[in-house]
């Protein structure tokens, strides 16, 4: 496993626009967007199996169990996303398997078995086609 500091991860992920960044996993099934200023990260998994780790709230009229967010501290969140189909983004920047990166106090690791991010509070999420977990 190789650790990549945030500044190097930004080099891998391309130029930052307003301290923002976006990348995908090699499988092109998970796409993430974030900001370094007040670090936060949102990742969407396009294709998945099984039930979401939390029940769909009545207030969610869209897709549930695909979008996961994390700030530098506090619990991970599942987000309701629009009713449209979840399409793959065109990010060319890839978080290769075995690469770890830090985005402020959010640490992530891309592996063949899944993509995991944890914050300074110890909260986070793990995403793979078979398993989506928030903790």
Per-residue confidence (pLDDT) for residue 39, from 0 to 100: 87
Per-residue confidence (pLDDT) for residue 20, from 0 to 100: 79
**Cβ–Cβ < 8 Å for 129, 25:** no
Name the nearest CA neighbour of 117 among 102, 95, 96, 98: 102
Provide, rounded to the nearest whole percent, the portion of the chain with pLDDT above 70: 80
Question: Residue 112 corresponds to which tokens in the numbers above?
Answer: 């063949």
| In the chain, domain spans | 2-134
Q: pLDDT, tens digit, for every residue of 93-118?
A: 899 999 998 888 999 999 999 999 99
DSSP string, 62-109: SEEEEEEEEESSS--EEEEE-SS---------B--TTEEEEETTEEEE
Q: pLDDT, tens digit, for every residue of 15-40?
A: 444 577 899 999 999 999 998 888 89
């Amino acid at each position: 496993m190789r650790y990549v500091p945030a500044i190097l991860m930004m080099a891998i992920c391309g130029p930052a626009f307003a301290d923002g960044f976006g990348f995908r996993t090699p499988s092109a099934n998970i796409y993430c967007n974030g900001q370094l200023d007040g670090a936060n990260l949102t990742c969407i998994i396009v294709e998945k199996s099984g039930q979401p780790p939390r029940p769909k709230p009545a207030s969610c009229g869209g897709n549930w169990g695909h979008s996961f967010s994390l700030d530098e501290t506090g619990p991970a969140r599942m987000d309701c996303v629009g009713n449209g189909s979840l399409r793959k983004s065109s990010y060319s920047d890839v978080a290769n398997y075995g690469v770890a990166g830090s985005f402020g106090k959010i640490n992530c690791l891309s592996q063949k078995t899944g993509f995991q991010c944890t914050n300074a509070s110890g909260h986070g999420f793990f995403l793979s086609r078979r398993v989506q977990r928030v903790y």
